[in-house]
């Protein structure tokens, strides 16, 4: 069976249907409070995807970062990029990859341009740069209202826990 058909069918050119939070949780093992994406849209297998994170004042990290001026930690924005990329990897590889762990190997050229605060909606754009064996490299950009707030190049390894 072709990977795209296995993952809900293609619209055209390897593009698959958007994924809601329930499908995201089938694809990757992250759960509250470390699940950093709410939806994945604009998925083009083996190429790109866009994760959506609705940033709420109810996020647990805002209690301490910072109580008088809540700002989403940059490392969690990078984590949202990695989770979006993980959904893209699992979508590309098919159902056999569902639930496997994806570990960071490198994070390079990380830049944080503007604070992300409660009420913002992050659009996390990821693009595959390279894939060899079980190692994948991506460029990620996080935007709020079309404005770049963070970016990074990172690589990760997908592993079977067994």
**Which amino acids are annotated catalytic?**
65
Q: Is 92 helix (H, G, I), strand (E, B) or coil?
A: helix
CA dist., res. 32 & res. 101, Å (int): 16
CA dist., res. 18 & res. 7, Å (int): 10
Longest Cα separation, the chain: 53
CB neighbours (10 Å) of residue 114?
A: 14
CA dist., res. 135 & res. 104, Å (int): 10
CA dist., res. 39 & res. 85, Å (int): 12
């Amino acid at each position: 069976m072709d990977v795209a058909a296995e993952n809900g069918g293609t619209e055209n050119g390897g593009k698959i249907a958007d994924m809601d939070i329930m499908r995201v949780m089938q694809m990757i093992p992250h759960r509250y409070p470390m699940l950093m994406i709410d939806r994945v849209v604009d998925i083009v297998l083996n190429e790109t995807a866009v994760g959506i994170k609705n940033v709420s004042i109810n996020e647990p990290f805002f209690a301490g970062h910072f109580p008088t001026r809540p700002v989403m930690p940059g490392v969690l924005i990078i984590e949202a990029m990695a989770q979006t990329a993980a959904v893209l990897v699992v979508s590309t590889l098919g159902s056999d990859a569902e639930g496997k762990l994806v570990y960071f190997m490198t994070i390079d050229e990380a830049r944080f341009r503007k604070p992300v605060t409660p009420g913002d909606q992050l659009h996390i754009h990821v693009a595959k740069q390279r894939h060899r064996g079980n190692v994948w490299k991506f460029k990620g950009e996080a935007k709020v209202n079309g404005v770049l707030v963070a970016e990074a190049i990172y690589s990760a390894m997908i592993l079977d826990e067994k």
